């Protein structure tokens, strides 16, 4: 959709549109219907080529795909329960799940191609892909399936045919009810953290154990910081541990959060800046090499699980259901641009400090009068909702173009939507 640049004509049109919306807001309210179940979010993925946000839910195996350009919502549910990790690679969506499988799905058709598992594989919280694109590796809680097993493992499958190629483990003695683990690949080595407190390094080619480090707390998350040749491991007590790849040892630990460090990621434009989040709903921003905290955000969500970057935006999600979108161009002055809520087959995006919204399904809204909460029904309600529901809200929140006008629909598109009694 073409975004019109600001000029005298479009400026007057924007003014007209805003006055029109304000006249509706003064007389009518748009309320989400009672009984809608907002889905908590377990993980996120952003596919830049298609400008699509992928979201997995906490209480079911569904993956939602929101096209941030067209507003289209798609979904599929090949897993039996919660999808813990999502990645898009070479036209396919790869997911790992609590159902103990890793699956590949065609991005366009959403048809499943491969199901990768074995009889002793437990719940899988994390997957990664080898740099050559030939293999996928996934951490799993084998102790879920085999009560005689005392350690979890990482499995490797061929992405060509789904055949199991290797198993890496054991990864330390299982010692906690906490379910956590992750892995990453660097320089033909596999780095693995687990809820045993272990940080293990394996030879990717033959599976040999190269190094074993055991930390006091169970490990929850990990992150590579390439600019400083470090791997970070976040634990369940709120500490982050710094592993120096040149010295092949942990060099420091910092208390960074009150409880579990659930996710960490380096800023895509600033390699010296790290973001970390926690179950306490706080997201912290750190600066290397001093690891000075430069800002902190109290996220409007319970149990923050993950976040992603889209240009100069930070997308944060958790079990509370609201997916929060922040403007992070100025790290000292971070502002919220809006929120997304996802339901079974619909979603809505709200603009901060505004009554404007966009939804793919206007039937999720009731229209009532401001004066006495009288419910507006049938064609009048539908006309009002069509008039107020504006995809420009989605575009404005996710736009990376500072010169873009907030006008996304033309004068001819506005007029036919105005109910006869209001025009």
Residue 187 or residue 172, greater confidence: 187
For residues 103 and 131, membership in a common domain is answered with yes
For residues 202 and 294, membership in a common domain is answered with yes
Q: Would you say residue 152 has pLDDT above 80?
A: yes
- pLDDT classification of 9: cutoffs 50, 70, 90: low
For residues 12 and 53, membership in a common domain is answered with no
The dihedral through the CA atoms of 121, 189, 237, 291 has a sign that is negative
Domain count, the chain: 2
pLDDT digits (tens, 9 = 90+) for 341-376: 999 999 999 999 888 899 999 999 999 999 898 999
pLDDT of residue 12: 63
State what percent of residues in the chain have pLDDT above 90.
Answer: 70
Give a yes or no: residue 2 inside a domain.
Answer: no
Per the prediction, the chain carries an average pLDDT of 88
pLDDT digits (tens, 9 = 90+) for 52-64: 999 999 989 999 9
Last residue of a domain, one of 325, 359, 375: 325
Beta strands in 70-206 (DSSP E): 73-76, 83-89, 92-97, 102-106, 112-116, 123-129, 135-141, 153-158, 164-168, 181-186, 189-194, 198-203
pLDDT digits (tens, 9 = 90+) for 97-108: 999 999 999 999
Q: Would you say residue 204 has pLDDT above 50?
A: yes
Contact 154, 190 (CB under 8 A): yes
For residues 270 and 367, membership in a common domain is answered with no
Give a yes or no: residue 332 inside a domain.
Answer: no
pLDDT of residue 409: 40
Contact 89, 126 (CB under 8 A): no
Q: Would you say residue 422 has pLDDT above 50?
A: no
pLDDT of residue 178: 72
Domain that holds residue 395: 8-34+348-417
pLDDT of residue 411: 32
Q: Would you say residue 16 has pLDDT above 80?
A: no
Q: What is the DSSP letter of 5?
A: B
**Overall average pLDDT of the 83-99 stretch:** 97
pLDDT digits (tens, 9 = 90+) for 282-326: 999 999 999 999 999 998 766 899 999 999 999 999 888 899 999
For residues 116 and 155, membership in a common domain is answered with yes
Q: Would you say residue 253 has pLDDT above 60?
A: yes
């Amino acid at each position: 959709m073409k975004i019109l640049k600001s000029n005298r004509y479009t400026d007057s049109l924007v003014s007209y549109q805003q006055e029109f919306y304000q006249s509706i807001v003064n007389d009518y309210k748009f309320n989400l219907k009672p009984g809608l179940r907002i889905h908590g979010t377990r993980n996120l993925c952003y596919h830049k080529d298609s400008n699509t946000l992928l979201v997995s839910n906490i209480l079911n195996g569904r993956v939602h795909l929101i096209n941030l350009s067209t507003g289209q919502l798609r979904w599929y549910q090949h897993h039996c329960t919660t999808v813990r990790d999502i990645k898009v690679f070479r036209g396919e969506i790869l997911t790992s799940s609590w159902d103990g499988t890793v699956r590949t799905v065609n991005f366009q058709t959403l048809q499943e191609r491969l199901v990768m598992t074995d009889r002793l594989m437990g719940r899988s919280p994390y997957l990664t892909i080898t740099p050559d694109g030939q293999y996928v590796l996934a951490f799993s809680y084998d102790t879920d399936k085999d009560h005689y097993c005392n350690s979890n493992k990482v499995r490797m499958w061929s992405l060509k045919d789904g055949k199991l190629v290797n198993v890496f483990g054991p990864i330390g003695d299982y010692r906690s009810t906490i379910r956590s683990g992750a892995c990453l690949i660097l320089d033909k080595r596999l780095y693995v953290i687990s809820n045993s407190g272990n940080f293990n390094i394996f030879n990717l080619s033959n599976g040999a154990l190269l190094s074993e480090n055991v930390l006091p707390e169970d490990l929850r998350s990990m992150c590579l910081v390439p600019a400083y040749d470090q791997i970070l491991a976040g634990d369940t007590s709120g500490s982050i541990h710094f592993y120096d790849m040149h010295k092949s040892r942990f060099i420091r630990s910092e208390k960074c959060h009150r409880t579990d460090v659930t996710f960490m990621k380096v800023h895509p434009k600033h390699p010296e800046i790290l973001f970390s989040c926690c179950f306490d709903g706080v997201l912290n921003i750190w600066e290397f090499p001093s690891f000075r905290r430069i800002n902190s955000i109290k996220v409007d969500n319970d149990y923050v699980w993950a976040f992603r970057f889209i240009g100069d935006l930070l997308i944060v999600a958790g079990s509370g259901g609201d997916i929060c979108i922040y403007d992070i161009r100025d790290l000292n002055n971070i502002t919220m641009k809006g929120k997304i809520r996802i339901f079974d087959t619909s979603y809505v995006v709200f603009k901060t400090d505004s009554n404007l919204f966009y939804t793919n399904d206007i039937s999720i809204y009731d229209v009532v009068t401001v004066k006495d909460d009288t419910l507006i029904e049938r064609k009048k309600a539908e006309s009002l909702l069509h008039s107020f529901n504006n995809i420009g809200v989605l575009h404005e929140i996710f736009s990376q173009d500072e010169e873009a006008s907030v006008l996304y629909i033309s004068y001819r598109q506005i007029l036919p939507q105005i109910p006869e009694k209001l025009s």
